[in-house]
Amino acid sequence: MRADALKRFVPALSWLASYDRRTLPADVLAGFITAVLLVPQGMAYATLAGLPPQVGLYASILPPLIYALLGTSRTLSVGPVSVAALLVANALASSSAEAYLADALLLAAMSGVLLLMMALLRLDVLVNFISHPTLSGFTSGAALLIILSQLGNLLAISVPSTGSGLETVYKVATHLPGLDPITATLGAVGIALLLLSRRPFVSLLMRTGASESVAVLTSRAGPLVVISLLTVCVAILQLEQKGVAVVGALPQGLPSPSLDFLRLDRVADLLPAALMISLIGYVESISVAKVLAFRRRQKIDNNQELIALGASNMAAAFAGGMPVAGGFSRSTVNFSAGARTQLAGIVTAVLVALVALFFTPLFYHLPKAALGAIIVVAVASLLDWRGFVNAWRYDKADALTLLVTFGGVLLFDIEMGLLLGVIMGVGVFLWRSSRPHVAVVGRIPGTQHFRNVKRHSVETWPGLLLLRVDRSLFFANISYVDDLVAEQVADNPELKHLVIICSAMNTIDYSALEALEQLADSLHRAGISLHLAEVKGPVMDRLAHFGIEEWLSPGKVFLSAEEAVQTLKPDE
């Protein structure tokens, strides 16, 4: 029993205990390939967050190790991710230069604590309130913001990495004449090479006889090859003396773990941003974890994921790293490189640690434009135009939600965009739910079937109205139903009995109950009896418990529409 509880809290115990040595080579290879991707990506996302490049490396060592122990996904690759990096940059726009790094670590620690609190309160359901169109609009908007923010690095003009998208476009446009042609060339070459290293390079390899999987995996080294080439190019041509910004001297070794970043007076200021980072990080991680787990019939435990990501973020802060999450593209690479267990993640972490310990001097001549190129190419795939077109074809309201979120992110800011999207998504759903289908029904002669009077030729009876409501009643649709009833009542002066057929109602909430009570009372005062028919068992239990006999009186609850008609139809 205790061993079970321990295994639940530390899922690594399960796969470690039954580890199959035959998968060891696959895990090690996948770990290596992911590390080759992660090193340039980690440094790039750190610069995106406005942090020194090595902070991205520090976030790629301890956090994935912690995740390997606590996470339920076998293949999720935890480390810096682009959207979280953008959120960090936004949150710290007003931080002083001295406090900037400490504030970034504090953000990671706070995100960690918030994720653990969400786990404690079982709030993993919260993310369900973000609809796909909202998420798609949000991601596309954030991706475009990120690309805009990199224009400064790519063109060597001074553009703040935060602010609304329009503002950035304006600033880039006005500063464009001052761009540095050498930097711009490096950036353009970097982007071109990165793009070529994908599909075209894979096709080329395959034409030379390589299998598709080998070709794809080889292409993953693209970023590393590109930064190596550009670094060598800068070093040989001594371009940094011609004004090309380079990464420069990075500290060698790892920072001592510390809690120095803890400044309680900053907590209140950073809380909204930390909440966004934890929420968005969790959504991205859980989505990719589920997709990958499904393919191998493995399970993901939402709540355990909150714990694992929470602990990983606290570890990130402790180890001097930025906030982390499970990255979408990186995890997919890890998966398709053949990772079977989190041993691959451990291998990746160890390799990144070796880089941080011994190889940082190699990055001295690395041009910042190369990091910008990596970011731009990586996030460009997040721009989901097809998603908008599809949504538009399927459902205009959903497509509009996507557009509003996208626009909100670009025109206001990233938090406001998400908030607008969530409100609009929920609003559209409520608005639809608030207009249930209601039909006046009559009996098909010779049967006990009741159908819409508008579509079938059916029997009706003077003074008796049968209304079928095709949905559960709740606060947002009860007044719509009320209005329809009021209209019917006003249009039928001789009405005596109104029967509501409840066959499609799974629930009746308290607002609807009160409204029904009031409706019964109002109808009664107008000389009309309200009756119910075909009430489902669980709903009837609650209504009975709540004295329906009394307040519905003289109205009744009938088992079937037929029984209601037999009792209430006028004598012939």
By C-beta, is 181 or 427 nearer to a copy of itself? Answer: 427
Neighbours of 463 (CB within 10 A): 14
**Residue that the structure tokens 């880089």 belong to:** 355
As a whole number of angstroms, the distance between CA 30 and CA 115 comes to: 28
Q: Taking the complex as a whole, how short is the minimal distance between the CB of residue 207 and a copy of itself, in angstroms? A: 27
Contact status, residue 225 vs residue 196, Cβ threshold 8 Å = no
As a whole number of angstroms, the distance between CA 104 and CA 210 comes to: 44
Q: Taking the complex as a whole, how short is the minimal distance between the CB of residue 298 and a copy of itself, in angstroms? A: 7
By C-beta, is 461 or 546 nearer to a copy of itself? Answer: 546
By C-beta, is 265 or 494 nearer to a copy of itself? Answer: 494
By C-beta, is 66 or 478 nearer to a copy of itself? Answer: 478
Query: Sign of the C-alpha dihedral, residues 280, 282, 285, 291?
Result: negative
What are the residues binding a copy of itself (CB under 8 A)? 125, 127-133, 290-291, 293-300, 302, 390-391, 393-395, 398-399, 425-427, 429-432, 434, 437, 470-471, 474-480, 482-483, 486-487, 489-490, 493, 506-507, 509-511, 513-515, 518, 522-523, 525-526, 542, 545-546
Show Cβ contacts of residue 386 under 8 Å, excluding neighbours closer than 6 positions.
none
Show Cβ contacts of residue 285 under 8 Å, excluding neighbours closer than 6 positions.
76, 78, 305, 309, 325, 326
Identify the CA nearest to 374 among candidates 155, 161, 191. Answer: 191
Q: Taking the complex as a whole, how short is the minimal distance between the CB of residue 552 and a copy of itself, in angstroms? A: 15
HEC string for 82-103: HHHHHHHHHHCCCCCCCCHHHH
By C-beta, is 228 or 479 nearer to a copy of itself? Answer: 479
Q: Taking the complex as a whole, how short is the minimal distance between the CB of residue 229 and a copy of itself, in angstroms? A: 36
Distance from CA of residue 187 to its chain's centroid? 30
| Ramachandran quadrant class, 317 (left: phi over 0; alpha: psi -120 to 50; beta: rest) | alpha
Q: Taking the complex as a whole, how short is the minimal distance between the CB of residue 398 and a copy of itself, in angstroms? A: 4
Q: Taking the complex as a whole, how short is the minimal distance between the CB of residue 169 and a copy of itself, in angstroms? A: 27
By C-beta, is 336 or 460 nearer to a copy of itself? Answer: 336
Enumerate the β-bridge partners of residue 367.
246
By C-beta, is 460 or 511 nearer to a copy of itself? Answer: 511
Q: Taking the complex as a whole, how short is the minimal distance between the CB of residue 512 and a copy of itself, in angstroms? A: 8
Q: Taking the complex as a whole, how short is the minimal distance between the CB of residue 394 and a copy of itself, in angstroms? A: 5
By C-beta, is 518 or 567 nearer to a copy of itself? Answer: 518
User: 274 phi and psi, to 5 degrees?
Assistant: -65, -40
User: 534 phi and psi, to 5 degrees?
Assistant: 55, 45
